[in-house]
Amino acid sequence: MASAQAVAAPGVLARVRRNAWLYRRCLGAHLRSTLEYEADFWIMSVSAVIAQGVGIVFLWAIFGSIPEINGWTFWDVAMIYALVVLSEGLSVLFAQGAWSMAFTVNLGGFDALLLRPFSPVLQVLSSEIGMNGLGNVALGGALLGVSVAHVDVAWTPATIALFVVLVVSAALVKVGLNTATNAAAFWIKTPWSMFAFSMHTFGELARFPITIYGIGVRLALSVVLPYAFMSYFPAQAVLSTGTAHWLGFLTPLVAVWCLVLGALVFRRGMLRYESAGN
């Protein structure tokens, strides 16, 4: 048998490229197997649209009786909402595997990942493709399309480019936070991602202008677990409203920080991994 190709110590760029390629390959393989269950695909997508749609109806009902909250109109908030749904959708579509961590780690399935020559954290993230993310992306896109027409923004190529960068960064913020919170599985030894899920639910608060909350919640959402950078802050940057809308331009940096945080927590956790006695 021919022996495994010796791979010379690759440069950073080559390594990034290899990792990205393998990530895509893993996702692709899971996409193919997921698509075999066509019914699941439609059920997931439609239920995602319904779940998110309920929130929008709720918003609409609130703004029916109050025209403005802290200076935010319905369409401003709809735009924040669209950003969350969109970035949430992207993170579900491309990194849903984060949610499998509790199960994989605490039922011993993590062994297999450690035996393959590919970064364990990337293997975890790419181990699932969340087809309900498509529903989210579709709904978020539609909501965005409608709200964009109603907000007071001059749409130039520059603002559009900024917008795209912000949406992608917002999705990466979510991926990083999902990784960090789900990596709690290395400490909390149950196969359920309860901790990460409660943090996720907490993050949902950032679907509304966070100025409506007290200082504690605001700090938590913007500093401790900066969920607000997947919605409120980038929306502010696009709308150029609020007292510190420049904060939104930091979203790409915050995304890098969240990803690093996720990787660090994961790595710390991995040192604690104890496998399972068969």
Chain contacts with ligand ATP (rule: CB under 6 A): 274-278
Cβ at position 20, least distance to other proteins in Å: 12
Calpha distance 155→151 (Å, rounded)? 10
Contact window for other proteins (CB under 8 A) among 156-164, 175-183, 216-224, 267-275: 267-275
Calpha distance 80→235 (Å, rounded)? 5
Nearer CB in complex with other proteins: 2/244: 2
Indicate whether 271 belongs to the interface with other proteins (CB under 8 A): yes
Indicate whether 3 belongs to the interface with other proteins (CB under 8 A): yes
Indicate whether 103 belongs to the interface with other proteins (CB under 8 A): no
Nearer CB in complex with other proteins: 64/277: 277
Contact 64, 152 (CB under 8 A): no
Cβ at position 48, least distance to ligand ATP in Å: 37
Contact 201, 49 (CB under 8 A): no
Cβ at position 153, least distance to other proteins in Å: 43
Nearer CB in complex with other proteins: 119/236: 119
Q: Sign of the CA dihedral 128, 181, 277, 274?
A: positive
Give the list of residues 6+ apart from residue 237 with CB closer than 8 angstroms, or none: 162, 166, 245, 246, 247, 248, 249, 251
Calpha distance 27→175 (Å, rounded)? 15
Question: Which does residue 191 touch among ligand ATP, other proteins, none (CB within 5 to 8 A, set by kind)?
Answer: none
Indicate whether 65 belongs to the interface with other proteins (CB under 8 A): no
Indicate whether 117 belongs to the interface with other proteins (CB under 8 A): yes
Calpha distance 22→236 (Å, rounded)? 36
What is the 8-class DSSP label of residue 223?
Answer: I
Contact window for other proteins (CB under 8 A) among 114-122, 166-174, 238-246, 261-269: 114-122
What is the 8-class DSSP label of residue 2?
Answer: P
Longest dimension (CA), the chain: 74
Q: Contact positions toward other proteins, by CB under 8 A?
A: 1-5, 7, 21-22, 25-26, 29-30, 32-33, 108-109, 111-112, 114-119, 127, 271, 273-275, 277-278
